[in-house]
Chains A and B, each alone.
Chain A
């Protein structure tokens, strides 16, 4: 009877075409729909490929063709629709929900699959999605509320993650919520609930210090309407995860219930915010280890949670050491991640013959581990590892080796026995070499992370050798990528073995401090990529000065300088304005948007210092750039200005103007090393970003008001004459909400231009800057 009802209901619901690897219902993976409404459906996959959507009453997962598929595929499962993805790989439709009372209390689960020839098994499965139903119309106003105050500019930054013991502040913008001006409201911090849970249980239960706060909303702007909702008492104890989820509710009618007219941060788009414990501190699990060998160059040590018998689907991280290093030297990684429920294996790596030999031992050791789970550590890992979520980490030659290994599998030059390319979710290189260039040392479209130790005296980043420029690998990553650069860290600081730090330059950190920084970033890195943890992203995408582990105190230890770069995956729905590649020039962006500027020397080209030194050179606009060799194509823009205002304006095409579903403007920028325009005022540099809508309403934000600017190069000598190491890009994000806070009339659905403004009126009075990756991101 239930099956019949399901079939009928499903038939009524899901008469739509389908597509692939990312499936969202109403912009979410899990949503609740009101009967009689429609649900937007978005499926994203490879372009022009056949695709199918399945639906079932069970969420699964099941294992199919070596993958974990997020659907139960019970006898009730149905094929809903088949179709072909469009040229952009995206299909968007809407799903009409009938007024059918039998749907109440039912949850349907769905997964998409794209028949993708580039996928190792030919099937590109999407995430799972769920859809529940309600007949209660709860329509709170969804708005960002939690964040941190700013001293100037938009006066508040709405964020996702906060550190444990830091106060939680809530800001209400009266210009955007004029109905609240002159009223008293109650502020609740609650345990996070899904939309379905809010609908089912709308009563408000405050968990913050002092209970719910009653405040008066005035007309005085964000500053006057910023309130401390918790003094730092909220728990961040997420066990073997990162971040405890909370929601914020502004109870407008003060009735203790979430209902229409209330404001909520955390209804249909995930939690309002997360409180995070210091991610560099060990997790809750005791850690065991086992050292063993499978023969020549198959020596391994595995770190795992001592209670692994009680765990399931444990992600696997594999570490490949560097030249002259040892597989026993990565306990700082193994112990830390295992304490959070990961299995970490570090192996003997054949690095001395070269990087191709090293890539072979990465491949063979991965297979050896997976082939011998019944024997290793007494069989403790057998049946526990989720091979669909693997990470490779490599150091120096080993860091290049993992890229070559990935490339070899992709090209069919090596066929693993126990895993496929799609099982590798993340590759992370620590100070990698680049012997082989883009033809082999290439991570292609897999999620990629890079560590750079800016005091590295081995893979030193000097332009005298392409082999020693680690940013090449970052630049070759074609899709999602991030980089972490640590000033004062040496090559030897990245492992925990014996020997020196292999470091040169000022303000050296040494191993303990470097490892604290590494652990504090590594956990969010794997949580984001491997466990899809939404609390993790802020730790990767916000500036380090803005969100750093408590135990790596920026500002207290002046030597701690960490620069972060982060680029979203294409599948996130971002709007790319300029990659500075693919035909981009100084007058036309890669997207086709026309550029106007009065910068006298704006130049677009390859981010590759053309000579062998960092010595300042007025004839070399790309001096200090180490993101490409001459067979790479990583582009960027460079320019100078000197005590005169200037601008660089992107005039958006009609198809680029609707930013209403987007979240932040993102770009990366750097200062050029050893230029008097950099050294003349050594410190963070900044400029102003202005967006203007088609009605002429503009909003300008000075970077210095919302961010820390972008860092001066590390003050290291050698590699030519002068002081200053390679140009240091940092990713800068400005929330679109912040533009609206300054100019409420700004119409985000019709943005006409983005303008970067430089000079004394807008930030640093003079400078020599580089820019890249101008995007508007969705999250």
Chain B
């Protein structure tokens, strides 16, 4: 019940133009910083974008409908490391337009997050933003559209054609999700080298 009280509070705060949910009322030691109750306007910079095609479909467990897809975009994003502090409780959901994005690494120290988003993304016009705290697996497409509308109203925009062209690479063709994560591990190694255990784990030798 207390949880729903929080969300009710969040809605009220959103309705009056924004606010902060005090998930921890004060900070001490390693306590987690407060989460914004609504989509953030802080820019998320796109460093690289690599369209890909999978020969075997991958399930997008990051949205309630869990769609399968065979084409998508591998993104390298940069943001404030504080946005990337991992939590076991609710986290800001990363959106690319009206689609939830899969965060492959943590990025807490580097500020770089490597993300996978289903479909081919028009980066010139598609906003990338952190939305309302939630579990991505509970976010429906309809809820994602609402988040996009909120972000757009707050002024979040795409990067424009010139920048999009500059960061977008050649399409790659991969066998399946395992190979996609291997590809992601290369980006993690470059941009978040502190996450060496993640890289090692993703590169574990495939036995089947």
Quote the shortest CB–CB distance from A480 to chain B (angstroms).
26
The answer to whether A326 and B201 touch (CB under 8 A), given A296-B181, A458-B87, is: yes
Please state if A294 and B207 are interface contacts (CB–CB under 8 Å).
yes
Q: Which of B2, B23, B27 interacts with A629 by CB under 8 Å?
A: B2
Q: Is B204 an interface residue (CB 8 A)?
A: yes
Cα–Cα, bound, A681→B163 (Å)? 65
**Closest B residue to A612 using CB positions:** B2
Contacts of B31 in A (CB 8 A): 457, 460, 504, 718
Q: Is B120 an interface residue (CB 8 A)?
A: no
Please state if A353 and B62 are interface contacts (CB–CB under 8 Å).
yes
Please state if B29 and A466 are interface contacts (CB–CB under 8 Å).
no
Please state if A322 and B88 are interface contacts (CB–CB under 8 Å).
yes
Please state if A353 and B58 are interface contacts (CB–CB under 8 Å).
no
Please state if A354 and B138 are interface contacts (CB–CB under 8 Å).
yes
Quote the shortest CB–CB distance from A16 to chain B (angstroms).
52
The answer to whether A293 and B25 touch (CB under 8 A), given A431-B88, A458-B88, is: no
Q: Is A300 an interface residue (CB 8 A)?
A: yes
**Closest A residue to B196 using CB positions:** A498
Chain A 503-560 residues near chain B, CB threshold 8 A: 503-505, 508
Please state if A293 and B108 are interface contacts (CB–CB under 8 Å).
no
The answer to whether A465 and B88 touch (CB under 8 A), given A292-B206, A326-B197, A357-B137, is: no
Contacts of A294 in B (CB 8 A): 206-208
The answer to whether A465 and B23 touch (CB under 8 A), given A295-B177, A324-B106, is: yes
**Closest A residue to B182 using CB positions:** A293
Q: Which of A354, A457, A497 interacts with B135 by CB under 8 Å?
A: A354
Please state if A350 and B61 are interface contacts (CB–CB under 8 Å).
yes
Cα–Cα, bound, A291→B207 (Å)? 10
Cα–Cα, bound, A407→B145 (Å)? 32
Cα–Cα, bound, A356→B64 (Å)? 11
**Closest A residue to B136 using CB positions:** A353
Please state if B5 and A612 are interface contacts (CB–CB under 8 Å).
yes
Please state if B89 and A503 are interface contacts (CB–CB under 8 Å).
no
Please state if B87 and A464 are interface contacts (CB–CB under 8 Å).
no
Q: Is B205 an interface residue (CB 8 A)?
A: yes
Q: Which of A291, A296, A431, A460 interacts with B178 by CB under 8 Å?
A: A296
Q: Is A481 an interface residue (CB 8 A)?
A: no
Q: Which of B2, B24, B87, B181 interacts with A323 by CB under 8 Å?
A: B87
Please state if A375 and B208 are interface contacts (CB–CB under 8 Å).
yes
Q: Is A462 an interface residue (CB 8 A)?
A: yes
The answer to whether A463 and B176 touch (CB under 8 A), given A292-B206, A498-B194, A718-B31, is: no
Cα–Cα, bound, A140→B154 (Å)? 84
Contacts of A459 in B (CB 8 A): 88-89
Cα–Cα, bound, A498→B181 (Å)? 21
Q: Is B162 an interface residue (CB 8 A)?
A: no
Please state if B88 and A491 are interface contacts (CB–CB under 8 Å).
yes
Chain A 443-487 residues near chain B, CB threshold 8 A: 455, 457-460, 462-468
Please state if B2 and A435 are interface contacts (CB–CB under 8 Å).
no
Cα–Cα, bound, A360→B32 (Å)? 27
Q: What are 21 A-to-B residue pairs whose CB atoms are below 8 Å?
A: A292-B204, A296-B180, A328-B201, A353-B61, A353-B62, A353-B135, A353-B136, A354-B136, A354-B137, A431-B88, A433-B88, A455-B29, A464-B23, A465-B6, A466-B1, A467-B3, A467-B89, A492-B30, A505-B29, A629-B2, A718-B28
Known pairs A299-B204, A356-B137 / 18 extra A-B pairs, C-beta < 8 Å: A291-B205, A296-B176, A299-B202, A300-B204, A324-B106, A326-B198, A326-B201, A352-B136, A354-B135, A455-B29, A458-B87, A462-B24, A464-B23, A465-B6, A465-B23, A467-B90, A498-B194, A498-B197
List B residues at the A interface (Cβ < 8 Å). 1-3, 5-6, 22-32, 58, 61-62, 86-91, 102-103, 106, 108, 135-138, 176-178, 180-181, 194, 197-198, 200-202, 204-208
List A residues at the B interface (Cβ < 8 Å). 291-296, 299-301, 322-324, 326-329, 348, 350, 352-357, 360, 372, 375-376, 396-397, 431, 433, 435, 455, 457-460, 462-468, 490-492, 497-505, 508, 611-613, 629-630, 716-720
